[in-house]
Structure 1
Amino acid sequence: MTKIIIKILKKAFLHLLFWVVVWFFFSSFFSVGSSNENFIFWFSTLLSLIAIVSSYVFVYHLIPNFLIVKKQKLFVLYTFYACVFIVCAVLMTVVFGFVFFYNLEYQKMPGLTKNSGVILVCVLLIIVLASAFKILKHNFKSLEEKKTLENKFLQTKLQLKEQELQFLKMQIHPHFLFNTLNTLYGFALKKSDQAPEMILKLSSLLDYILYQVDKPLVHLQDEITHIEDYISLEKSRFQEGLGITFNKNIDIEVFEISPMLLLPFVENAFKHGSQINGVVEVTINLKVDENELNFTIENSSIKKENSKKGIGLENIKKRLEMLYQKDYFLEILQEDNVFKVNLKITKKNDE
């Protein structure tokens, strides 16, 4: 309540200050060639009253109720009525000075106070200034409101994007985990001596997909380490039935990517890879320089009719679109005996 009162008092003070300045302007301007201080005081006061009434009619009624809401015809009509009132009021002010201060002796009146045109221009100038200030204030307020709405829209859009990313991650977790646990289950049935080592690597993978994946970015080397752990798990499962090649050419120490960005492609290659001549062939090439990441993975595959696509690749496509927009290129090819993925990510300048 106190803030509202202070705001009202501040506004009233500024209005009062403005009209005092206007009165002094009239008093100084029309006093040229006149020594009758009493006449100049009342003449300036009457002109100020005309300017005050007319300005507030425009500022608080005609402009907000007609001009701003685009009722131009009514605004023009009421502006005409207001101008008629202003002209009549100015003429009556001249007559007032002529009758009460100069006893109908027109020639004794100061030159400026006899010129109705000059008086009218001065009054209209004040009204135009007040009206222009009102319009500028409205436009500024509209821009601020538009900017606020745009910011709210962008915040909402960002929140929706973050929620969708979280949803995609939630889908990736069980999808990837289910396939990895299947591998471990197979070793448990065989009672393999490699099971403890596999459990250790699986534990590292679980930590990555359950906790590290919530980070916006991770070092590329972290993703590579977990890819290698996953490959090791798959080697243990496939034994002699797997031919794997992982070529790395990295010319930069620090390159950050979104977590679990490359690993689903590797997992997909093993899950959907087909044995040709008793071997699943998987070839991975990773090349990274200062500006770009190039990732290519191929796996042997027998093209099947009406094959169903898993959620892994679909989710990764959505994530790439949301995270990198125009800064990536993804190509997925299904040939006779090869399934191939080409991914190119351009490093952003702010990374």
Structure 2
Amino acid sequence: MKLLRLLKYLTKKIFLHGILWMAVLLFFTFFFGVEGATLKNVFEFSLYLLPVTITTTYSFVYYIIPKFLLLRNYAHFVFYSICAIIISSVYIIFSTFYGLVFLSQMDVAYRFPITKSLFFIIIAVYIVVLLACSFTLLKNYYKTISTNEELKNSVLQGKLQLKEQQLKYLKMQIHPHFLFNTLNTLYAFSLNKNEKTPKMILQLSNLLDYILYQTQKPLVFLSEEIKHLRDYIELEKNRFQDKLEVNFKTKNISEYTQIPPMLFLPFLENSFKHGKDTNGTIKIDILLTQKDGQLYFEIINSKGHTNSEQNFGANENGIGLENVKQRLNLLFKNHYFLEIENLQSQFKVKLNIHLNKA
């Protein structure tokens, strides 16, 4: 099978090169023609120049250019090019001399088959060599561009896959903590046989549906994300009862805006985890606004003196501040601004995302 492919390749190569040199031969015949000279004589004279033209062309195309020029060994390229030109020029002179001798049979005055001087004969040969070399360089140039483009696409694809894997890993770190808190709340209600238990199960079912299916999408509507946050808050309200006060405001939210899923949940989870003040109550203020292609998110939670050194997600089982920053960097790179303030009685998080640029 390999031998058959090789034979087909060689046959095609020989056929194309044969057509090329026939065209060169016709070019020489036309270029060296003279009024009064027979076509046979001019054609035969051109045949004398064809071997040196073929040898010189292949020397440049298959040896000098790929071995030295393409490898940027310019000194050797210049040296071998000069040697090739000198040697080929000598052979052109001999080919011209013997061609004239044999064709004219020493009767040069009457049967001289060309009108060009020796200089123009050499120029004609090197026009062919130059065209062949130019075609080789052009072919190599486009081949290099194609190879670089494939390599670039391969690298970009690898980076994309790496980012996808990192995002999946970061999301998996978020889900367990979220489910742990929600199931704990549901468990407490079921023990007390609270009448709100069925509603909580339904809310949890909706949240699980969101986590399992919606978060697999690269983008979700911002309105869906807000609904998801409100459902989460409702579940936590059932858990903390009158110990929880949440003020969630949204402004100028476009129904067409899309963002990566579960973008704000880590900040909300952190507020519930560390938001208890000295009286055991949790106060959370959330503001989400959209203006001029930018999305502003701010969340402020209370904290007690025991949490004076509160560190966002410091617990090894939490998602961690580094986790959040990694995900934001992967999703928005330099098109976001995150500010975290750990004050004496409050913990503030401000996130500004340039949606248009991101």
In the superposition, the TM-score normalised over structure 1's length comes to: 0.91
Partner of 1:54: 56
Distance 2:125 2:222 in 1: 73
- More displaced stretch, 244-253 vs 308-317: 308-317
Q: Does 1:205 align with 2:213?
A: no
Alignment map for 1:153-172 (pairs within 5 Å): 153-172=155-174
Structure 1 residue matching 2:104: 3-state secondary structure: coil
How many equivalent pairs are there?
350
Q: Is contact 1:247–1:286 with CA below 8 Å preserved after alignment?
A: yes
Distance 1:286 1:38 in 2: 91
Partner of 1:339: 347
Partner of 1:257: 259
Distance 1:96 1:251 in 2: 90
Q: Does 1:67 align with 2:75?
A: no
Unaligned runs of 5+ in 2: none
- More displaced stretch, 192-201 vs 160-169: 192-201
Partner of 2:322: 314
Q: Is contact 1:98–1:109 with CA below 8 Å preserved after alignment?
A: no
Q: Deviations over 1:17-57 (max 9, x none)?
A: 22111111111111124424333122111112211111011
Which residue of 258, 261, 267 corresponds with 2:269?
267
Partner of 2:223: 221
Counterpart of 1:126 in structure 2: which amino acid? Answer: V
Structure-2 change in CA distance of 1:91 and 1:109 (3 Å)? farther
Q: Deviations over 1:266-323 (max 9, x none)?
A: 1211111122444311001111357232211100024434853532543232222111
Distance 1:74 1:228 in 2: 74
In the superposition, the TM-score normalised over structure 2's length comes to: 0.89
Partner of 1:325: 333
Q: Does 1:146 align with 2:148?
A: yes
Structure 2 residue matching 1:311: 3-state secondary structure: coil
Partner of 1:11: 13
Q: Deviations over 1:129-176 (max 9, x none)?
A: 111111121121111111111110011111111111111111111121
Partner of 2:198: 196
Structure-2 change in CA distance of 1:329 and 1:101 (3 Å)? same
- More displaced stretch, 76-85 vs 236-245: 76-85
Distance 1:12 1:277 in 2: 92
Distance 1:238 1:246 in 2: 17
Q: Is contact 1:241–1:275 with CA below 8 Å preserved after alignment?
A: no
Q: Is contact 2:308–2:344 with CA below 8 Å preserved after alignment?
A: no
**Alignment RMSD:** 2.4
Partner of 1:304: 308
Structure-2 change in CA distance of 1:43 and 1:338 (3 Å)? same
Distance 1:306 1:255 in 2: 33
Partner of 1:243: 245
Partner of 2:134: 132
Identity of counterpart residues, as a percentage? 44
Distance 2:177 2:149 in 1: 42
Distance 2:103 2:48 in 1: 14
Structure 2 residue matching 1:63: 3-state secondary structure: helix
Distance 1:84 1:292 in 2: 70
Distance 1:206 1:219 in 2: 17
- More displaced stretch, 287-296 vs 56-65: 287-296
